[in-house]
A and B are shown apart, each in its own frame.
Chain A
Amino acid sequence: MPSRRRTLLKVIILGDSGVGKTSLMNQYVNKKFSNQYKATIGADFLTKEVQFEDRLFTLQIWDTAGQERFQSLGVAFYRGADCCVLVYDVNSMKSFDNLNNWREEFLIQASPSDPENFPFVVIGNKIDIDGGNSRVVSEKKARAWCASKGNIPYFETSAKEGINVEEAFQCIAKNALKSGEEEELYLPDTIDVGNSSQPRATGCEC
C-alpha cells in the first residue's frame, strides 16, 4: 500500500488578482468556465485523480487570493507543496512583472528543501481576449524570463476556451510527482511507515 505522501500531489496556483487562477483550476478539474466566479477570499482547493504509468495520484490544486495583502496567509497554505504554478494575464504587463515577486514570496513562505530545483510552471492566460489583439506580453518575453529562472516550463492558455489547459496541468502533475519523489529520497523520514504494511522499497510496486 503506497503511503499518502506518494499519492497526494499538492499544487499551488499563484498570480495577481483576476489573472484567472480559479478559472484555470475549474477548467482543468470540472471542464467548466463561468463568468460569475467571485474573487477568491482566503483559499480553496480542488482535487483530481491523475494516472501516470499505472499509478493513480490525487492532484490537490490550491487556489489562493491574488491580492498581495493576503500573502501573509501563504505560509499556512504553501507548506508541503510539490509544484507551484505562476499565472499571469498576457494582457496585463503588471501581472507578468509580478511573477518574480510571486516566485520569491513562495520560496520564502513554503521554504522547500531544495529551492533551486523546486518545480514551477508558468502559465500565460487569457490568450482568447480580443483575438489576441490586446496582448501586451509577448511569448518571447515570457519564455525568456522562464529560461532565466532555471528553464521553467511555459504554457499559454485560455481557461475560457479550454485551450492548452489540460496540457499545462499534465506538465504540472508530472513535475509535482518528480518533486515528490525527490523529496522522498532526500527526506525518508517523511514517509508514513505506520500506514505502510510493507517496507518502503517495495511500497511503490503494489
Chain B
Amino acid sequence: MLESELHDLSDDADYAASQQQGSASMMLRSDSTKQNSPRDGAEVVFSKENVAIHPTQFASERISGRLKLIKQSSSLFMTWIPYKGHSSEARLSDNERNLYTIRAVPFTEIRSIRRHTPALGWQYIIVVLASGLAYPPLYFYSGGVKEFLATIKQHVLLVRSEEDANVFLVNDFQNTLQRTLSSLELPRAVPLACGPSNMSVDESILNENQERADNDVNNGSSSVTHFHRRPRQKVDPARDISIQVLEKFSLVTKFARETTSQLFRENQSNGFSERRTPIQTNLDHPRRSSHVEENTSDESCHALDSQEFDNLSLVWGKPRQPPLGSEEWLIFLDSEGRVTDSEALRKRVFYGGLDHELRNEVWGLLLGYYPYESTYAEREFLKSVKKSEYENIKNQWQSISSAQAKRFTKFRERKGLIEKDVVRTDRSLPFYEGDDNPNVNILRDILLTYSFYNFDLGYCQGMSDLLSPILFVMDDESEAFWCFVALMERLGPNFNRDQNGMHSQLFALSKLVELLDSPLHNYFKQHDCLNYFFCFRWILIQFKREFEYEKTMRLWEVLWTHYPSEHLHLYLCVAILKRYRGKIVGEGMDFDTLLKFINELSGHIDLDATLRDAEALCICAGENGAARIPPGTPPSLPIDDGSVYAQQDEIL
C-alpha cells in the first residue's frame, strides 16, 4: 500500500468552510510586513518564531511560521503565518502555504487550547474552535508555550480544565464541555486507544505503533503494564472531544492524527503510572516553571533527555514501508526513463529501501553516478563511455611490467595491501566464497584501479568493505567502479591520512549526543569517553560489520537518499547509544567495556527500529542538530576539492 504523501486539504469542505469563516471574521490584515505597525489600535502582544505544523505524516515535512497574538480594542486574535521560501522546509507551494495559514482568528471563536508535551520532541498545542474544528498541532520549536498561554490569560478568560491540566478552556463561563458536546451532536466520545474505529487510513500505522508500544512497555518499567490491564477509571471529556473533533473533521492530517492518538495513549499511561516526564508537570512545579527555561532551545531539548525515548518513535518515526518494487518503480519514471521527481523517489527509498532486483538500476542514481534526469538511452551511453574510461585507468597499472614493479615499491606495497584485504572480505558469502573466486579478483582490480584514479588517497582498509556490496549489486566491474568512485567522493575523507573525515564525524557525534542525550554525554565526559572511538567502526564503514549483508544494503540505500539529512548515520549512532544508555550507565561501563559492548552489538541491532529512532532524533534536533555538524563532514561533499587528499609523509 502506498500511502498518499501529501494530504491535500483543498478539496476538504470542512476546511474550506473554516477558511471562509476565518476570513469573514478577520478584522486584521495579518500581513507579516505590517504586523509590527499597529493599525486601528492593533497591538502585537505575543510573537513567537519557529512555530511549525507538520502537513503530512512525514515528520520531516514541516512548515515553520510566526505565531502571534494581536490585541485590537478589547478583542484578542491569533495568527500563524508560514514563512516564505524557507530553505530547510519541505517543498510546498504557495497554495499549500495559504492553506495552512491561520489568519486572525478571534478568541471568541476559540473553544479550547490543549497543550501537549511529548516525552520526546517539542511541545505543541492544538487549538479547537467553537465550531468544533481544530487547527493542526502547532509545534513550538523555540519553546514558548507557557508564555503563549500566560499572554492569553492576560487578555481573555482562560480556565484550566478540571479533568485535564493540559486543556485550557477559553471564555468558559459555564459548562463548556457539555455545550460543546451538544453543539457538536457527537456521540459520547469513544477513547481512540480503546477502539480506533474510524481510523481506516492509519489503522496499520496505529496498530504497528501499538504493537511497538506494547513491546516497549514490556521492555520498560513494569508500572505501565498495570495500565493495560486496568480498565480506565475516568473518561476525560475535554481530551476526548479534542480527539473526536480532530477525527470528525478531516482538517488535521494523518500525522496529526498519529500524534493525537499517541497523545491520548501517553495521557492514559500518565494517569496510571509514575512514568511522568518532568516537563509535563511544568506548570504544577514552581521550580520548573521559569520563563528562561521555556524560551531557550535547550529547554526543548530537555524533553529529549527523558527516559521515555522509545515513545519518541511512536510520535515521530514513521513506520518502515515495504521495499520499492519494480512496478512501483515505473511510477517514478517517465516514458524515456527519467526520474520525474527525485525527491519523491528518495523519500520512498528512505522509508522502505529497494527490492534487491531494483538495486542494480537505482543505486547508480542514488549515488549520483547517473543523473536522475538521464534517460534510459543516456544511461546506456554513459555506461559505455565510462567503461572505456575505466579500462584506460585500469590499464595504467596493468601495463606495469614485473621489471618495473621491482622498482616501484609504492605500487607493490599498495597491491599487497589490497590483496591481503580482498581475500578476507565477505568470503563466507556465496558471491565471494571459494578458492580462485573471480569476484575476489575483480574486487582487487577495482580497488587497485581506484588507487590509481585517486592516487593521493590510495588504498585504505575499510574500502574493500564498502566496495563489496556495490560489486555484488552492480555485478559489472566498470559499473561497480564508478559507483564506488561516487561513494568515495563523499566518504573519501574517512580514509584520509590525517583521518580528518573521521575526526569531524566523531566530533559531530559527540555534539549531537550532547544535544540529544545530555545525561549520556555527561556520563561519557566523566568516564573519559568523549573521543567516541568506540563508534569508529560504525562510521568508517557505514555499519557494514554491524548488520548482515542484506540489512547493510538496505541501510546504505536509505542513507544514500540523504533524506532527511546527509548525516543520518550520525543520528543512527545516537539512536543506538541512546537505546542502550540505561545499560551503559547502569553498568558503569568504562571506555574498554564500552568498546567491547559496542563491538559485540554487531548482529544484534534492529535496523528498522533504529532507523525510526534516528529519523525521529534527526527531526527533533532540526537545525540545532545540523548546526552541530561541521561543514564538509562526510558524507557532505568536501568543501575544498583541491587539497582533500594532500599527500603527506607516508609510505602507502
Contact = CB atoms under 8 A, between A and B. Distances in A.
Interface of A: 17-18, 35-39, 41-45, 60, 65-70, 72-73, 76-77, 94
B338 to A, nearest CB: 39
A73 B533 contact: yes
B652 interface: yes
Contacts of B498: 72
Contact of B537 (A35, A41, A72): A41
B420 A18 contact: yes
B460 A41 contact: no
B421 A39 contact: yes
A41 B599 CA distance: 10
B596 A38 contact: no
A13 to B, nearest CB: 15
B359 to A, nearest CB: 23
Contacts of B533: 42-43, 73, 76-77
B460 to A, nearest CB: 6
B592 A38 contact: no
B540 A41 contact: yes
A41 B461 contact: yes
A193 to B, nearest CB: 18
Contacts of B208: none
Contacts of A41: 461-462, 465, 536-537, 540-541, 545
Contact of B591 (A66, A67, A73, A76): A76
A75 to B, nearest CB: 8
Interface residues of B, number: 34
A70 B592 contact: no
A60 to B, nearest CB: 7
Contacts of B495: 69
Contact of A69 (B421, B427, B499): B499
Given A69-B497, A73-B536, A60 B592 contact: yes
B14 to A, nearest CB: 57
B417 A69 contact: no
10 contacts: A17-B421, A18-B421, A38-B424, A39-B424, A39-B464, A42-B536, A67-B460, A68-B650, A69-B497, A73-B533
A36 B460 CA distance: 19
Contacts of B2: none
Interface in B414-432: 417, 420-421, 424-425, 427-428
A72 B499 contact: yes
Contacts of B462: 39, 41
Given A36-B427, A37-B424, A38-B545, 4 more contacts: A36-B424, A38-B465, A43-B536, A69-B495
A142 B240 CA distance: 81
B461 A70 contact: yes
Contacts of A66: 461
B307 interface: no
A44 B537 CA distance: 10
B334 interface: no
Contacts of B465: 38, 41
Nearest to B462: A41
Most chain A beta-carbon neighbours within 10 Å: one of B497, B498, B595: B595
A93 B228 CA distance: 69
A182 B628 CA distance: 45
Contacts of A60: 592
Interface in B622-652: 650-652
Nearest to A76: B533
Contacts of B461: 17, 39, 41, 65-67, 69-70
Contacts of A69: 460-461, 495-497, 499, 650, 652
Interface in B466-496: 495-496
B408 to A, nearest CB: 14
Nearest to A40: B461
Contacts of B380: none
A71 to B, nearest CB: 9
A178 B252 CA distance: 72
Contact of A45 (B420, B427, B592): B592
B650 A76 contact: no
A109 B567 CA distance: 31
B518 interface: no
B214 interface: no
Given A60-B592, A70-B499, A72-B498, A42 B650 contact: no
Interface in B384-421: 413, 417, 420-421
A67 B465 CA distance: 15
B598 to A, nearest CB: 9
B531 interface: yes
A109 to B, nearest CB: 13
Nearest to B596: A45
Most chain B beta-carbon neighbours within 10 Å: one of A17, A42, A70: A42
A67 B417 contact: yes
Interface string B522-536: 000000000101101
Nearest to A80: B592
A73 to B, nearest CB: 6
A112 to B, nearest CB: 18
Contacts of B425: 38-39
B652 A68 contact: yes
A85 B255 CA distance: 58
A94 B420 CA distance: 14
A17 B545 CA distance: 18
Contacts of A68: 650-652
Nearest to B652: A68
Contacts of A72: 498-499
Nearest to B419: A18
B649 to A, nearest CB: 10
A69 B540 CA distance: 13
Contacts of B651: 68
Contacts of A44: 595-596, 599
Contacts of A37: 424
Contacts of A45: 592, 595-596
The 4 closest A-B pairs by CB, nearest first: A18-B420, A42-B536, A42-B537, A41-B537
B511 to A, nearest CB: 18
Nearest to B591: A76
A77 B596 CA distance: 12
A49 to B, nearest CB: 16
B273 to A, nearest CB: 37
Interface string B115-144: 000000000000000000000000000000
Contacts of A35: 424, 427
Contacts of B650: 68-69
Contact of B540 (A38, A42, A76, A94): A42
Contacts of A65: 461
Contacts of A70: 461, 499
Contacts of A39: 420-421, 424-425, 461-462, 464
Interface string B181-211: 0000000000000000000000000000000
B26 to A, nearest CB: 61
Nearest to B417: A17
Contacts of B592: 45, 60
A73 B499 CA distance: 9
Contacts of A42: 533-534, 536-537, 540, 599
A67 B651 CA distance: 11
Most chain B beta-carbon neighbours within 10 Å: one of A39, A45, A77, A94: A39
A42 B540 CA distance: 9
B509 to A, nearest CB: 14
Contacts of B427: 35-36
Nearest to A60: B592
Contacts of B652: 67-69
Nearest to B421: A39
